[in-house]
């Protein structure tokens, strides 16, 4: 797997889009990186930029961006709601694929050393890149902010890791490190009170608040036997939070960093803030995500809110995201566009999923054209997807059937299984065509020398093997999907039993069609043992599919 890291620098400018554009132009000038998101905030006077790429390209782009920010942003004139200490306030690197946190931390150190030496900015390492645990926390490092750092940097314990022990009047200092994926998330309140917002933030954040006698704000601080302040932890683990007032929106917010979304998810944080706000007579009106969010976070949120309504979670990815957006109020302050905010959507290559992006007429026209692809393999995968879609429909209809309320979870689980098979088969619609194109590409390789001939022959065999494995995968998925279809014929809404029957017919046709592709492609393989094994397994699958279809149709006809 190619190494891929994400970089999310925060620049202390959120109003002048010309300055922001000059910085992002530097990032985009580097080959091997992709700019994913630019999220400026006027009240915070801060812009969060997200880009990904191979490690060396990413740190090259980050260096150029930090350098340009130091030239364009004057921190002596900067005002904003968010804590900050430099023109580039913080620049984290996040491992995404094919690279460990330890390796990512080494790239962070490499970037920090270059920034300190070539730009002359004081740099502090944080999180996984910082060996000294007393100074690896961003909020601790940034304490005192830009204004207080002129004195802080002179303290022996706050000597920078790289660069001069001088806090630049114009550029300030910066923090560079390596960390896990973090979700920056703000919850909107129906109040303008920063103090009340902070009280809720202290209620939920892991660090909590200092314990006081009587009044939580003015009461005497309670200490232990050693004289250390006693702390009351907050209710959410892996959460950092503060309250602030956003003049741009005219509201106060709880600003949170969810540092481990496997521990505290977006929806869990939202609900907990709602609960704590209600206890204080305050209402949550919505929320906003800053930067990007993983797809799983949105899907999990959609399922969570559907489950709270006792509704089926076996709906499409698009519907789950819509439920999440509406339930979290992510579109209260500005439109939430999934294609621009979900990291997987920004990274995916749509050119490899051309067919399933077509409408029905265009897909039929493309199939009927003189082009050999899409062919029978892609059509088999699509027919299979339609078959399990019918089974999933029956599951969803059953979960909402009047009088069957106590069974909604049973049918929701079946619908989720159906959605899985549908999604996997849709991927294979394009993958079968991509596999065919790999064969054509292999046949087009040069063959002037013996070495080229050998490489070409091997490429053809590799591509042909893959083109055999793809339709075999279609066979497996379609047969497995018939479990859902059979269950819906047996126990699903009886008014939709014929839909389950049609689903079974589609699944069987898909298996039969895909097997034809397996057999014709296996015929071109020199690895005869592999070919014979696959055909034998395919024959067994075909027989089991015919038996399953007969069983389902018997149930269906018995209920008509």
Question: How confident is the model at residue 343, as a pLDDT?
Answer: 86
Band (351; pLDDT cuts 50, 70, 90):
low
Rounded to an integer, the average pLDDT of 325-346 is 93
Residue that wins the pLDDT comparison between 145 and 292: 145
On whether the CB atoms of residues 502 and 456 are closer than 8 A, the answer is no
- Of the candidates 211, 215, 219, 265, the one whose C-alpha atom is nearest the C-alpha of residue 238 is 265
pLDDT over threshold 90, residue 528:
yes
**Gap between the Cα atoms of 193 and 190, Å rounded:** 9
Extract the runs of DSSP E, i.e. beta strands, from 191-290: 209-210, 231-232, 239-246, 251-258, 284-290
Domains with residue ranges and CATH for the chain: 4-178 (3.30.990.10), 183-347 (3.30.70.670), 350-559 (1.20.120.680)
Residue 537 has pLDDT above 70, yes or no: yes
**Residues marked as catalytic:** 82, 432
pLDDT bin (cut points 50, 70, 90) of residue 216 is low
Residue 138, pLDDT > 70, answer yes
DSSP 39: E
Q: Which of 94, 97, 83 is nearest to 144 (CA)?
A: 83
- Can you give the pLDDT at residue 352? 67
Mean of the pLDDT values across residues 147-170?
Answer: 95
pLDDT, tens digit, 9 for 90 and up, residues 68-122: 999 999 999 999 888 999 999 999 999 988 899 999 999 999 999 999 999 999 9
User: Residue 529: beta bridge partners?
Assistant: none
Among residues 186, 199, 198, 193, the alpha carbon closest in space to that of 328 is found at 186
Phi, psi dihedrals of residue 375, rounded to the nearest 5° = -120, -155
**Alpha carbon distance 218, 201 (integer Å):** 17
Q: Is the pLDDT of residue 349 over 80?
A: no
How far is residue 78's CA from residue 69's CA, in Å, rounded to a whole number?
A: 13
Q: Which two tokens stand for residue 413?
A: 């689980």
Pairing label, strands 123-127, 174-178: parallel
Does 338 score more than 70 pLDDT?
yes
Could you give the CA distance from residue 542 to residue 19 in angstroms, rounded to a whole number?
Answer: 63
Q: Which residues contact 333 (CB under 8 A, 6 or more apart)?
A: 188, 249, 286, 288
Q: What is the mean pLDDT of residues 389-406?
A: 93
Please determine, for residue 372, whether its predicted confidence score (pLDDT) is greater than 90: no
b/e 162-182 (16+ beta carbons within 10 angstroms → b): bbeeebbeebbbbbbbbbbbb
Whose tokens are 């204080």? That residue is 280
Instruction: Provide the 8-state DSSP code for 513.
Output: H
pLDDT averaged over every residue in the chain: 93
Q: Which residue has the higher pLDDT, 70 or 227?
A: 70
- Retrieve residue 418's tokens: 């159906």
What is the DSSP-derived secondary structure letter of residue 214?
A: S
Q: Where are the alpha helices (DSSP H) in 444-524?
A: 450-491, 497-522
> What's the pLDDT at 226?
80
């Amino acid at each position: 797997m190619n190494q891929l890291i994400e970089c999310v620098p925060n620049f202390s400018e959120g109003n002048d889009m010309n300055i922001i554009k000059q910085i992002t132009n530097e990032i985009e000038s580097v080959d091997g990186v992709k700019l994913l998101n630019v999220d400026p905030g006027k009240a915070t006077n801060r812009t969060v930029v997200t880009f990904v790429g191979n490690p060396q390209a990413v740190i090259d782009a980050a260096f150029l961006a930090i350098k340009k920010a130091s030239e364009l942003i004057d921190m002596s004139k900067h005002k904003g709601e968010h804590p900050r200490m430099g023109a580039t306030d913080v620049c984290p690197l996040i491992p995404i694929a094919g690279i460990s946190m330890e390796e990512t931390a080494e790239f962070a150190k490499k970037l920090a050393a270059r920034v300190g030496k070539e730009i002359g900015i004081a740099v502090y390492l944080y999180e996984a890149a910082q060996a000294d645990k007393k100074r690896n926390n961003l909020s601790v490092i940034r304490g005192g902010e830009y204004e207080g750092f002129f004195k802080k940097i002179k303290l022996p314990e706050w000597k920078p890791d790289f660069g001069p022990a001088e806090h630049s009047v114009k550029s300030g200092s910066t923090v560079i490190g390596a960390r896990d994926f973090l979700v920056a998330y703000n919850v909107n309140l129906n109040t303008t009170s920063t103090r009340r917002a902070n009280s809720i933030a202290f209620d939920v954040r892991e660090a909590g608040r200092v314990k006081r006698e009587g009044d939580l704000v003015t009461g005497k601080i309670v200490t232990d036997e050693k004289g250390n302040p006693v702390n009351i932890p907050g209710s959410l683990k892996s959460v950092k939070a503060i309250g602030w007032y956003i003049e741009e929106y005219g509201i106060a917010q709880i600003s949170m960093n969810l540092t481990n979304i496997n521990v505290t998810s977006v929806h869990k944080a939202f609900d907990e803030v709602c609960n704590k706000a209600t206890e204080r007579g305050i209402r949550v009106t919505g929320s906003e995500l800053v930067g990007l969010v993983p797809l799983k976070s949105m899907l999990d949120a959609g399922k969570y809110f559907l489950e709270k309504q006792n509704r089926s979670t076996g709906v499409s990815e698009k519907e789950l995201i819509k439920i999440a957006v509406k339930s979290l109020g992510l579109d209260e302050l500005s439109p939430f566009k999934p294609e621009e905010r979900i990291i997987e959507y920004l990274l995916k290559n749509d050119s490899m999923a051309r067919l399933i992006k077509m409408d029905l007429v265009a897909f039929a026209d493309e199939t009927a054209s003189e082009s050999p692809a899409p062919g029978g393999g892609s059509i088999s995968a699509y027919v299979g997807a339609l078959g399990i879609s019918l089974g999933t429909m029956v599951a969803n209809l059953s979960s909402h059937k009047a009088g069957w309320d106590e069974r909604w979870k049973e049918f929701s689980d079946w619908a989720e299984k159906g959605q899985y098979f549908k999604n996997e088969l849709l991927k294979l619609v394009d993958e079968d065509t991509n596999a065919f194109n790999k064969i054509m590409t292999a046949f087009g390789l040069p063959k002037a020398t013996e070495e080229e001939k050998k490489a070409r022959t091997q490429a053809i065999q590799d591509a042909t093997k893959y083109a055999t494995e793809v339709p075999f995968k279609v066979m497996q998925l379609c047969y497995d999907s018939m479990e859902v279809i059979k269950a819906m014929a047996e126990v699903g809404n009886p008014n939709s039993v014929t839909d389950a029957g049609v689903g079974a017919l589609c699944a069987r046709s898909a298996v039969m069609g895909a097997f034809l592709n397996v057999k014709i492609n296996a015929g071109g393989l020199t690895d005869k043992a592999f070919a014979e094994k696959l055909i034998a397994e395919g024959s067994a699958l075909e027989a089991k599919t015919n038996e399953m279809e007969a069983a389902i149709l018997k149930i269906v006809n018995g209920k008509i």
